Amino acid sequence: MGNRSNEENNQGKKGEVVMCEWGNTILMAVNGRQRDMDSCIVPLVKALNDAGLTTIASCCGHNKRPGNIALADGRELIICKDYETARMADCLWPPINS
């Protein structure tokens, strides 16, 4: 599967987002160092770094769990594959409006 394009890796049935399999990586320069990135989240990691949000680690979750992107400032972004999964993740924390 290592030779499939990012677009092919991210598209399942009817536009469903599909994360790549473990080991399907692309080399990407981050802070002057080459790093292996899961191919399906390379555009997101690149956009964050281009915007000045330096990333230090990432994993797409490989359709087994939510993915994550760790930022150099200590924050971590959680990547959910769809709206429903994100709403389930929201239930892990107290509401922000109460």
Q: Which residues contact 89 (CB under 8 A, 6 or more apart)?
A: 66, 78, 80
Structure-model confidence comparison of residues 41 and 1, the more confident one: 41
Angstrom CA distances, 92 to 3, 29, 86, 87, stand at 37, 34, 10, 9
Q: Please report, for the chain, the start and end positions of each structural domain, with discontinuous segments joined by +.
A: 6-90
pLDDT at 14: 54
pLDDT at 46: 92
- Say what the pTM is: 0.73
- For 39-93, the DSSP string reads GGGHHHHHHHHHTT--EEEEE--TTTS-EEEEETTS-EEEE-SSHHHHHHHHTTS
pLDDT at 67: 92
